[in-house]
């Protein structure tokens, strides 16, 4: 990380305070109950009724599209890089030349195998609010006497449902994947957010995380799940909003993204005091999550440049990224470097090979490129920033049972010490520090994350069972 002098730190403090004031309600007016009216995002000028049919879907990339991709990789232009520079200026251009060579001459020659891998699970699409929503629906393999626990897995950016491929089998069929007889068995639903991957993009402006939350509630109801668990983070809190929107349907929320942006004057005050007198509020292990403040803010500025662009003018950058597969790969994979560990900025090849295989990374790039979805995924951030409803949800508490996972190497702005998190999440059942893992935990250490989710669900189910017994006993008195 670059060293920052006090003058620069004070300059970064101004936009930081502006963000805090905005989310804290000092600038924007607050309404207690955000509106939740179904929208229509289809192509027609007037709303049309949805076709509720759920249809099988298969990933299939045409040979013509693959040949065009190869041609574009071959014709990519590069510039001269600096000597002895890794990722301090962004994605290293010399490493990109090598990566593009493997993409063109190695990865794409095995594309049928990669495509078969993408089709490993059961894919479907159904129409909700005028657009086709893609999702994986993998049913549990049940033994006699077992009951499936439904769970909704929500991806982030620049990820996809592919994030969860490594632990879906352990959820749906644990006995055949190293599990035990007493482990919970899950029905897994993993949707693509509209505008991402194989979900149709909204054809009208305004589709925000608030709207995605409502669409996914409709999806789960359509699939017959009255209540379910959610795991998800990133992309501006879709899972969090779902738990606030209908807390009776959400049995519990498990997330690894719970930002420290204040949503109340109390939280602002506590955070200010913690920065000034950390020993009064924080354990030693929690210090690095919030201090020093100028370091926290510097990292925020360095790692959210993409966010500013996406929140304001996403289509500008999307034009270039849509046209150039190499440019798209650099844009996406730079996040897999610095969000996995900020120290990778100074590591050869951005440290990408330390945590992932090139095939895993290129599969993610291929999903964005072949579905032509980088523009609509970036627009989602603009709609988040512009949404009055999302701002309102952010200022309201989350009351469902919550499991929080603090990823040690993820950007510090994405998590908070439990003391601060409890101001927002009022029913924290589980808080875990996950060491040596960055933002993409489901790919980097899927076993640890899956076990943590399973433990959280087990604790929630035990509590639900006790509550049901208590209610039955009270009713019989």
Which residues are known to be catalytic? 234, 381, 439
d(CA 27, CA 44) in angstroms, rounded, equals 36
Q: Are 325 and 67 in contact (CB under 8 A)?
A: no
Q: Residue for token digits 């693509």? A: 192
The residues near 53 (Cβ < 8 Å, ≥ 6 apart) are 126, 127
Q: Are 216 and 208 in contact (CB under 8 A)?
A: no
d(CA 404, CA 152) in angstroms, rounded, equals 16
CA distances to 101, 168, 214, 220, 223 from 129, rounded to whole Å, are: 42, 28, 10, 14, 16
**Three-state secondary structure readout of the chain:** CCCCCHHHHHHHHHHHHHHHHHHHCCCCCCCCCCCCCCCCCCCCCCCCCCCCCCEEECCCCCHHHHHHHHHHHHCCCCCCCCCCCCCCCCCCHHHHHHHHHHHHHHHHHHHHHHHHHHCCCCEEEEEECCEEEEEEEECCCCCCCCCCEEEEEECCCCCCHHHHCCCHHHHHCHHHCCCCCCCCCEEEEEECCCCCCCCCCCCCCCCCHHHHHHHHHHHHHHCCCCCEEEEECCCCCHHHHHHHHCCCCEEEEEECCCCCCCCCHHHHHHHHHHHHCHHHCCCHHHHHHHCCHHHHHHHHHHHCHHHHHHHHCHHHHHHHHHHCHHHHHHHHHHHHHHCCCHHHHHCHHHHHHHHCCHHHHHHHHHHHHHCCCHHHHHHHHHHHHHCHHHHHHHCCCECCCEEEEEECCCCHHHCCCHHHHHHHECCEEEEEEECCCCCCHHHHCHHHHHHHHHHHHHHHHHHHHHHHHHHHHHHHC
What is the Cβ-side half-sphere exposure of residue 96, based on CA atoms within 13 angstroms?
24
């Amino acid at each position: 990380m670059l060293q920052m002098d006090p003058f620069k730190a004070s300059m970064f403090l101004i936009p930081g305070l502006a963000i805090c004031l905005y989310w804290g309600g000092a600038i924007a007016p607050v309404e207690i109950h955000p509106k939740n009216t179904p929208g229509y995002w289809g192509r027609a000028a007037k709303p049309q009724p949805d076709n509720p049919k759920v249809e099988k879907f298969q990933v299939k990339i045409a040979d013509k599209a693959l040949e065009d991709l190869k041609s574009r990789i071959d014709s990519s232009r590069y510039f001269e890089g600096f000597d002895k520079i890794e990722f301090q200026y962004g994605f290293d251009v010399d490493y990109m030349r090598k990566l593009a060579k493997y993409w063109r001459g190695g990865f794409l020659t095995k594309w049928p195998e990669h495509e078969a891998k993408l089709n490993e699970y059961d894919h479907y699409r159904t129409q909700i609010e005028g657009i086709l929503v893609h999702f994986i629906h993998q049913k549990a393999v049940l033994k006699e006497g077992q009951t499936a626990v439904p769970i909704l897995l929500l991806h982030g950016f620049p990820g996809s449902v592919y994030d969860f491929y490594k632990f879906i089998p352990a959820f749906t069929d644990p006995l055949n994947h190293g599990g035990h007889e007493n482990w919970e068995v899950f029905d897994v639903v993993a949707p693509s957010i509209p505008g991402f991957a194989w979900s149709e993009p909204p054809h009208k402006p305004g589709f925000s995380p608030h709207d995605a939350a409502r669409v996914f509630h409709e999806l789960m109801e359509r699939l017959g799940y009255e209540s379910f668990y959610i795991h998800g983070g990133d992309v501006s809190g879709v899972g969090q909003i779902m738990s606030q929107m209908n807390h009776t349907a959400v049995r519990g929320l498990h997330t690894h993204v719970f930002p420290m942006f204040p949503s109340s004057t109390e939280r602002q005050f506590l955070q200010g005091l913690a920065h000034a007198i950390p020993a009064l509020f924080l354990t030693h292990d929690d210090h690095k999550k919030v201090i020093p403040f100028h370091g926290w803010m510097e990292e925020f500025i360095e790692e959210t440049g993409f966010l500013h662009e996406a929140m304001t003018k996403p289509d500008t950058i999307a034009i270039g990224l849509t046209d150039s597969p190499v440019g798209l790969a650099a844009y996406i994979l730079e996040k897999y470097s610095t969000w996995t560990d900020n120290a990778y900025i100074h590591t050869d090849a951005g440290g990408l090979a330390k945590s992932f295989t090139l095939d895993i990374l290129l599969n993610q790039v291929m999903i964005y490129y072949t579905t032509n979805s980088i523009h609509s995924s970036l627009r989602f951030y603009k709609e988040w920033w512009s949404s009055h409803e999302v701002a309102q949800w952010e200022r309201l508490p989350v009351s469902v049972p919550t499991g929080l996972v603090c990823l040690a190497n993820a950007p510090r702005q994405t998590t908070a010490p439990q003391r601060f998190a409890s101001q927002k999440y009022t029913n924290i059942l589980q808080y875990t520090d996950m060491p040596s893992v960055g933002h993409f935990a489901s790919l980097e250490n899927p076993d640890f994350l899956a076990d943590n989710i399973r433990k959280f669900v087990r604790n929630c189910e035990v509590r639900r069972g006790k509550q049901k017994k208590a209610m039955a006993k009270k009713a019989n008195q």
